[in-house]
Amino acid sequence: MKVIIIDDEPLARSIVKEYLANYPEVEVVQECGDGFEGVKAIAQHQPDLIFLDIQMPKITGFEMLELIDNPPDVIFTTAFDEYAMQAFDAHAVDYLLKPFGRDRFDKAIQKWKSQANKSAVRPLMEDSVKQPEEHNRVVVKSGNAIKILPTSEIHYIEAYDDYVKIHTKDGFHLKKKTMNFFEKALDVSQFVRVHRSYIIALSQLTKIEMKEKDTHLAKMQSGNLIPMSKTGYLKLKEVLGI
Amino acid sequence: MTESRKIMLLEFGWWLVWVQFQAAAIRFAGFDWQLAITDAGISNFILGWEGYVIVIMLRYYQPKQSRIYYLLLWSAALAIICVLMIEFLLGIIYDENAEYLRFLDNTFVMRFGFSFLMLAFISVIGWMWYYLQTQQKDETRKADVEKMSRDAELYSLRQQLQPHFLFNSLNSINALIAVEPEKARTMVQQLSDFFRGTLKRQESHKVTLSEELVQLKLYLDIEKVRFGHRLKTEIIHDEECDKMTIPSLLMQPVVENAIKFGLYDVTGDVLLTIRAEIKDKMLRVCVENPFDPETAVPQKGTGFGLRSIERRLYLLYGRNDLLSTEKEGDIFRTCILIPQTT
């Protein structure tokens, strides 16, 4: 069984490795110091399990998971307090609070082994534990590169099957998230969901056009016309105070 | 507003009851119903209006407990006005009814006494009502203030403990115990010294720069164990700075900020520089860390640490211009000027 350890502190990785030495059937195929390396290593090795820290350089562990289409089983290793992590309990195999002893570690491995057969998809809870820096940025994949997109660069967001298209001045990025997620995550004073399938940035709005009675379009600086639902139009009017 | 509406409703009900009583009394004295009701209606209308005036006055001015006799003075004055108006109005309306005019004359004192008692009663009730209201408001405010100061205290305690730093350091020690027990021992010592230094010092206290640097160096050494070769530090200081004073633990959050910013914003090696020099007879300490100009999102989070330093500098020196930040290429620099009082 293949395992990858992703943590920016070398000693934190070494303790996991040390504890894993008791399990000869488990092989640590790679160690990563940040989420970028993590994404690459997971694509390359397709591990069965990863140990993942949360606070890491550039992108957090949560953001890293968002970039992976079929994430492996995850055991979080973190110094965060228990309450914050409990929200993730159901979505990860387990979470280990640093510093953790061998007993606790063994328990996590047992839990993973007993779950391994019924490897149900465990989507991450979308709006639970957010890091402060995650509130004003979105991590996206563009080609093989990973891009950290400040929310200020978003023009509008469009629903696209299981994905959303995040439109910016350079085109769009796809991300596997729901519209509801973005509606909740983005600053309500700057973004408005004007339609079931559209969220627009107020900074990009230039004009509200009337197509016919009760049907309005939002004209963006880029020239795009975004359809608005009746409730969306009312919400927009309320936010703009008109 | 609802409380005054409640008072008014109460007063109106009271007033209706008294109109009936008075009308019945006058009828009993031998006058017809029409006259009795007119008398009672007009008398109580004026009385009710004056009661309302008292309540309004109380809303804007409530005499202190020691001046509560004001209420009686007001009531007496208003009662006289009330009775004079009643006698005048009813005297005009029934100026041909000699028997009734005599009755009015005879009941002057009684009417005054009655009005006075009613007004005094209304004012005392109203006063008590408002008194309770203000007391309740005061209490909630006091509770709010207490809660705020408790929260602030808790926050500063938690800051002092820095759970994230502590737990991660303990985790490193845990790992070192197996591979390098000597180093683990050193780190336990460093960690203890660091926390002892934090707890010992008080916010208002001033220390020399060299003392402050010892504490910072402890912190950086621990972080270097945690982050391994990624973190490099450099402390440059002129010798004549060493004896200059600095509010204790002032630089700690600046350095923490630089570490957080530096280590979490770039993926490669990080060089953190602390530079101390004399500028315009003041001590100037700068902390430099690398950052990624392309992706550095203007963070709201980092602002907090710096803002609390700004606040502290303002409280200590009354100046708002002592903290500055600048970007130079991929270097982020935070500088603090510390005035020297000799």
Per residue in A133-179, pLDDT tens? 566 788 888 777 888 888 888 999 999 988 899 999 888 888 888 88
Tell me if A11 and B300 make a contact (CB, 8 A cut-off): no
| Same domain assignment for residues B138 and B207 | no
Point out the residue among A33, A57, A98 whose CB comes nearest to the CB of B168: A98
Check residue B326 and give left, alpha or beta (phi > 0: left; psi -120 to 50: alpha). Answer: beta
Residue range A29-41: mean pLDDT, rounded: 94
Looking at this predicted complex, what is its ipTM? Answer: 0.71
CB contact (8 A) between residue A150 and residue B297: yes
Between chains, do A9 and B164 touch, taking CB under 8 Å as contact? no
Instruction: Say yes or no for a CB contact (<8 Å) between B171 and A36.
Output: no
Could you tell me which chain B residue has the CA closest to the CA of A16?
B175
Cβ neighbours of B173 in A, within 8 Å:
99
Residues of chain A with Cβ-Cβ distance to B227 below 8 Å are 8-10
Shortest Cα distance, chain A CAs vs residue B250, angstroms: 24
Close Cβ partners of B271 (under 8 Å, ≥ 6 residues apart): B232, B233, B234, B288, B290
B184 within domain boundaries: no
Q: Which of B165, B168, B230, B260 to mutate to probe the A interface, most A CBs <10 Å?
A: B168
With CB atoms and an 8 Å threshold, state whether A56 touches B297: no
Query: CA angle at residue B128 from B124 to B130, to 5 degrees?
Result: 120
Residue A188 has pLDDT above 90, yes or no: no
* pLDDT number for residue A133: 56
How many domains does chain B contain in total? 2
Residue A93, chain B, CB below 8 Å: the answer is no
Inter-chain CB proximity B301 and A150 less than 8 Å: no
Size of interface A-B (CB pairs under 8 A): 86
Note the maximum CA span of chain A.
71
Per-residue model confidence (pLDDT) at position A94: 85
Best probe of the B interface among A9, A37, A96, by most B CBs < 10 A, is: A9
**Claim to verify: residue B313 and residue B237 sit in the same structural domain:** yes
Among chain A residues, the shortest Cα distance to B268 is held by A57
Check B168 against A14: CB less than 8 A apart.
Answer: no
Q: Is B177 part of any domain?
A: no
What phi, psi does A101 have (nearest 5°)?
-95, 175
Structure tokens that stand for A9 in this block: 């502190």
Nearest to A58 among B230, B267, B301 (CB): B267
Question: Do residue B175 and residue A15 have CB atoms under 8 angstroms apart?
Answer: yes
CA dihedral B141, B142, B143, B145 (to 10 degrees): 90
From B150, B169, B186, give the residue that closes a domain. Answer: B150
Residue B146 lies in a domain: yes
The last residue of one of the domains, among B132, B150, B168, is B150
Residue B191 lies in a domain: no
Mean pLDDT of B258-263: 85
Confidence band of B233 (pLDDT split at 50, 70, 90)? very high
Q: What integer best gives the mean pLDDT of chain B?
A: 85
Could you tell me if residue B163 is inside a domain?
no
> In B, which residues are within 8 Å of A12 by CB distance?
168, 171-172, 175
Please judge whether A79 and B225 are an interchain contact, meaning their C-beta atoms are less than 8 angstroms apart.
no
Name residues whose C-beta falls within 8 Å of residue A42's C-beta, 6 or more positions apart in sequence.
Answer: A4, A50, A68, A71, A72
Give the rounded percent of residues in chain A with a pLDDT score beyond 70.
Answer: 87
Q: Does residue B204 surpass a pLDDT of 70?
A: no
Contact between chains at B300 and A136 (C-beta distance less than 8 A): yes
Domains, chain A, with CATH or none: 2-118 (3.40.50.2300), 140-240 (2.40.50.1020)
Interface test with A, best of B291, B297, B300 (most A CBs within 10 A): B297
Among B264, B292, B298, the residue with its CB nearest the CB of A55 is: B264
A102–B contact, CB cutoff 8 A = no
What band does A52 get if pLDDT is binned at 50, 70 and 90? very high
Q: Which domain, by its residues, includes B145? A: 2-150
Does B311 reside within a domain? yes
Q: Domain containing B205 — which CATH number?
A: 3.30.565.10
Query: Averaged over A59-64, what is the pLDDT?
Result: 87
Residues B144 and B205 in one domain: no
pLDDT beyond 60 at B220: yes
Would you say residue A235 has pLDDT above 80?
yes
If asked whether residues B108 and B213 sit together in one domain, one would say no
Distance between A98 CA and the closest CA of chain B, angstroms:
6
Query: Per DSSP, which regions of chain A are E strands?
Result: 2-6, 27-32, 49-52, 73-78, 94-97, 137-142, 145-150, 156-160, 163-168, 171-175, 191-195, 198-201, 205-212, 215-220, 225-228
Q: With beta carbons under 8 A apart, name residues in chain B contacting A132.
A: 299-301
Of B108, B131, B150, which residue constitutes the final position of a domain? B150
Distance, CA of B92 to CA of B85 (rounded, Å): 11
Q: Is residue B174 part of a domain?
A: no
Partners of residue B265 in chain A, C-beta under 8 Å: 57-58
Pick from B8-22, B36-50, B68-82, B232-246: least confident: B8-22
Q: Is residue B195 assigned to a domain?
A: no
Residues B137 and B13 in one domain: yes
Which structure tokens are listed for B308? 């609390």
pLDDT given for residue A118 in this prediction: 52
Same domain for B263 and B137: no
pLDDT surpassing 50 at residue A127: no
Q: What's residue B288's pLDDT?
A: 93
User: Which residues of chain A make contact with B300, given a CB cutoff of 8 A?
Assistant: 132, 135-136
Straight-line distance from the first to the last Cα atom of chain B, in angstroms, rounded to the nearest whole number: 58
State how far the Cα of B279 lies from the Cα of B339, in Å rounded to an integer. 10
State pLDDT tens for residues B150-178: 766 666 666 666 788 899 999 999 999 98
The pTM is what? 0.64
HSE-up of A70 (CA within 13 Å, CB side)?
8
